[in-house]
C-alpha cells in the first residue's frame, strides 16, 4: 500500500527505517510536545515495528506510512490514519516530520493524502485529530485542511512537569472536497 502526492511518496515502513526515525526523534525541537525526554534505539525500533505489525491486520484498520520525498527517497517523517476500535465510520490521523523539513507544506500535503484515502477508499464519515494546544504548527496543518475545531480539553495531558491543554479537530465526509465530489458522481 502506498500513496503518491505531488512531492511525496507515502509508503509502508521497512525494517531498517528505524534509523532515520531515531535521527529526527532525538531532536529537541521534535521532542518539545511529547512526553519523551529523548529516544533510544530500542524505542525507535519498537515504534517502527508497531507500524509494521499493522500491515498484517485482517481486515486492516490502521495505516502509518513513512513520508519520503519522491525526489530522492529520503524518509522525512510519518503520517497515518487509524480506524477507531469500536466503530466503522471514524478514524483519527497523526503526522510528524523531521525538524529540518518543517515549514515547507510537507505535513499538510501528507495529511491531505491520508484524509483523501480515509474518505475515499475507507469510506469513513468522520476523521478527527488532536494536538497539544501550544503546538501551533500541528493545529495549523489541520486548519489549512479545513478541519473544524470541536473543542479545547483543558489539562488533558501531564508531562514534563506541567499540564497541557489539547485541541480536538474533525472533518466530516460531506465537508471534504474530494469525498463530496465523488459522492456526487
Ligand atoms: C506539526 C508539524 C508536523 C508541522 O509540519 P510542517 O511541515 O512544518 O507543516 P506545514 O509546512 O504543512 O505548515 C502548516 C502550517 O503550520 C505553520 N507552522 C509550522 N510550524 C510552525 C511553528 N513552529 N509555529 C508556528 N507555525 C508553524 C506553517 O507556517 C503553516 O502555516 P501557514 O499555512 O500559515 O503558512 C511539525 O512541526 C512536526 O513534525 N512537529 C513535531 C511532531 C508533532 O508535533 N506532530 C504532531 C503531533 S499532534
CATH at residue 59 = 3.40.630.30
Q: What are 123-164's pLDDT values in tens digits?
A: 999 999 999 999 999 999 999 999 999 999 999 999 999 999
Q: Is the CB of 7 under 6 A from ligand 1?
A: no
pLDDT of residue 27: 98
**What is the Cα–Cα distance from 16 to 14, expressed in whole angstroms?**
6
The closest-lying atom of ligand 1 relative to the alpha carbon of residue 96 is: 39
Cβ contact 151:167 at 8 Å: yes
Report if pTM > 0.85: yes
In terms of residue numbers, what domain contains 91? Answer: 2-184
> Three-class SS of residue 26?
coil
Mean pLDDT of the chain: 95
Q: How many domains does the chain have?
A: 1
C-alpha of residue 17 to centroid of ligand 1, in Å: 23
Q: Is the CB of 105 under 6 A from ligand 1?
A: yes
Percentage of residues in the chain having pLDDT higher than 90 = 95
Q: Is the pLDDT of residue 183 over 80?
A: no
Give the Å distances, CA to CA, from 87 to 90, 94, 133. 7, 19, 27
Q: pLDDT category, 179, cuts 50, 70, 90?
A: low
Q: Is the CB of 166 under 6 A from ligand 1?
A: no
Compute φ and ψ for 68, nearest 5 degrees. -125, 150
Amino acid at each position: 500500500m502506498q500513496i503518491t502526492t505531488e512531492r511525496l511518496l507515502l509508503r509502508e515502513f521497512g525494517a531498517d527505517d528505524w534509523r532515520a526515525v531515531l535521527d529526527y526523534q532525538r531532536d529537541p525541537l521534535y521532542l518539545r510536545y511529547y512526553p519523551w525526554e529523548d529516544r533510544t534505539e530500542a524505542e525507535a525500533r519498537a515504534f517502527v515495528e508497531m507500524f509494521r505489525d499493522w500491515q498484517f491486520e485482517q481486515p486492516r484498520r490502521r495505516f502509518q506510512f513513512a513520508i519520503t520525498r519522491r525526489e530522492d527517497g529520503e524518509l522525512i517523517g510519518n503520517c497515518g490514519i487509524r480506524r477507531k476500535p469500536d466503530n466503522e465510520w471514524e478514524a483519527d490521523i497523526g503526522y510528524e516530520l523531521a525538524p529540518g523539513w518543517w515549514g515547507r507544506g510537507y505535513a499538510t500535503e501528507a495529511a491531505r493524502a491520508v484524509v483523501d484515502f480515509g474518505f475515499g477508499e475507507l469510506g469513513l464519515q468522520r476523521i478527527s485529530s488532536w494536538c497539544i494546544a501550544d503546538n501551533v504548527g500541528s493545529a495549523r496543518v489541520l486548519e489549512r485542511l479545513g478541519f473544524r475545531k470541536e473543542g479545547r480539553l483543558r489539562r488533558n495531558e501531564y508531562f514534563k512537569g506541567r499540564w497541557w491543554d489539547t485541541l480536538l479537530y474533525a472533518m466530516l465526509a460531506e465537508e471534504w472536497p474530494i469525498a463530496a465530489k465523488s459522492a456526487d458522481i
